[in-house]
Structure 1
Amino acid sequence: MSAPRHGGDVTEEPNTGGSDADSPPNPDIDDLLDELEQLEETVDDPEERAQVRETLRVARRVRPGGFGRVIRGFDRHDAAEALVGSVVFGIPMLVEGGTLEIGEFVAAHPPALGGTLVGTVALVIGVLYVAEIQQVEIHQPLFGVVPRRLVGVLGISFSTAVVTMTAWGRVDWADPWLAFCQVSVTFAAMALGGALGDILPGS
C-alpha cells in the first residue's frame, strides 16, 4: 500500500485576463482606443510607452469616419469635387435677385461683411473638421498651421463665385467694393457646397 504524496501541491492560478463582464458586449475601435490610452498611463518603460503611443497613432488613422473613409491630402480630384459642389450650391444664388440686394446691404455695413466672411470660414471648418461627416486628417499644413484642404476649398469657392458672377453679368466691377460684397454673399453658399462636395464622395 503506497503512502500518499504530500509534495508538489497544485494551486489554481486566478484568471487575470479580465472577465467577459468587464468587457463591452460589442467592442469597437473606440473601446480599443480607450484600452490603449489606459495602458499608456500605466506603462513606465520609455520604450514600451513609445510603442503604445505608436499603436495609438495607427489605430486613430484606421478609425473609420462617418462614411467609413479617411481623407488625407488635397489633390486635383478633391479640387474637382469642391468645384462641382460650389457650382451646384452657387447657381441658385446666381439667379436669385436677393443675392445682389444682400450684397448692397453688406456693402453699406462693413461689419456685416466681416461677419459674413468669418462665418463662412467657420462653417467650412465645421463641415470639414468638426461635424465628423468624414474623418478628415490635416496633412502637411501650409506654414505648419493652415490646412491645405481648408485653403483649397475656400480658394476654389471664392474664385468660382468671382468668375461666374462676372461672366453672367451679375456684378459690375466699375464699383469694386459693391462687386466684392455681392461676390462674398455668393461665396458663402459656394463655400458650403465646396466643402460638402469635397468630403461626401470620399477621397
Structure 2
Amino acid sequence: MGDLFDELAELEDSVDSHEERERVRETMRMAMEVQDSEVFGRVVFGFDRSDAAEALLGSLLFGIPMFVEGGTEEVGQFIADRPHYFLLTNALTVALVVGILYVADFQDVRVHNPLLGFIPRKFAGVLAIPLVTAVVVMTAWGRVDWADPWLAVCQVAVALVPMAIGAALGDLLPG
C-alpha cells in the first residue's frame, strides 16, 4: 500500500490539469478506504478534525500534570536564565515530534498538500494544538505571569515538550 501511495504522489506531481490532479487525489482517498481496517500499519496523511481532537486529548493527558506541578515553573526559570537551553528545549520538542510521526513507524505517515509547500499539515497541527493549549490553560490557571513574557514563554516551552509528545501519540495511536 505504501508503494501505491508513493506512485500516486509522483503521478499527482506530474499531471498537468487540475482535473487530472483531482482524479489522482480521489484515487488516493479510495485507496485509503479500501485498505485493511487494522489500527496500526495504515497509511495516513493530512490532518482533519478527528486528528485535531486526538492531538488535543493527547496533549491534555500529558499536559495537565505539567500545569499543576511547580517543577514546570522551576525548569522554565532555569531555561529563561540560559537562552541556549531554551533553543535546545524547542529543538528537542521538534525532534521528538518528527521522530514519533515520521521515524518511529507507528503508522505510515505521508506528507500530502503541505502548508506553504513544505510544512506537513500533521506536523504543524501536532505542534500548534499543544502550544495553544499550553498558553491558554497555563494562563487561565495562573501558571504563567505574562508580566514577564520571556519567563512565561520559557515555562510554556517546558510544558510543550510532553504535550507535543502526547499530541503526536494521540494523533497516531488511535489510527
TM-score (norm 2): 0.78
Aligned match for 2:105, one of 132, 146, 150: 132
1:69 has 2:42 as partner = yes
1:93 paired residue number: 66
CA distance in 2: counterparts of 1:200 and 1:180, whole angstroms: 29
SS in 1 for 2:144: coil
Task: Look up the equivalent residue of 2:147 and give its one-letter code.
Answer: A
**Long gaps (5+) in structure 1:** 1-28, 34-57
The offset of 1:95, in angstroms, is 1.1
**More moved, 188-197 vs 66-75:** 66-75
1:174 has 2:125 as partner = no
2:94 paired residue number: 121
1:158 has 2:131 as partner = yes
> Would the aligned equivalents of 2:39 and 2:174 in 1 still touch at CA under 8 Å?
no
Aligned match for 1:104, one of 77, 89, 104: 77
Report Cα offsets for 1:28-80 as digits up to 9, x if no partner: x89xx7xxxxxxxxxxxxxxxxxxxxxxxx9xx87989813221111111111
Report Cα offsets for 1:76-103 as digits up to 9, x if no partner: 1111110000000001111111110000
TM-score (norm 1): 0.67
SS in 2 for 1:114: helix
CA distance in 2: counterparts of 1:144 and 1:81, whole angstroms: 25
1:200 paired residue number: 173
Superposition RMSD on alpha carbons, in Å?
2.1
CA distance in 2: counterparts of 1:118 and 1:66, whole angstroms: 30
**Long gaps (5+) in structure 2:** 4-27
Which entry has the higher C-alpha Rg, 1 or 2? 1
Report runs of 4+ in structure 1 exceeding 3 Å deviation.
61-66
Pick 1 or 2: higher relative contact order, CA cutoff 8 A, min separation 6: 2
Q: Determine what percentage of the aligned residue pairs are the same residue.
A: 60
Report Cα offsets for 1:10-43 as digits up to 9, x if no partner: xxxxxxxxxxxxxxxxxxx89xx7xxxxxxxxxx
CA distance in 2: counterparts of 1:66 and 1:136, whole angstroms: 13
Aligned match for 1:185, one of 145, 158, 162: 158
Count of aligned pairs between the two proteins: 146
> Would the aligned equivalents of 1:138 and 1:147 in 2 still touch at CA under 8 Å?
yes
SS in 2 for 1:136: strand
CA distance in 2: counterparts of 1:84 and 1:66, whole angstroms: 18
The offset of 1:113, in angstroms, is 0.3
Report Cα offsets for 1:118-138 as digits up to 9, x if no partner: 110010000001110111111
> Would the aligned equivalents of 1:86 and 1:190 in 2 still touch at CA under 8 Å?
yes
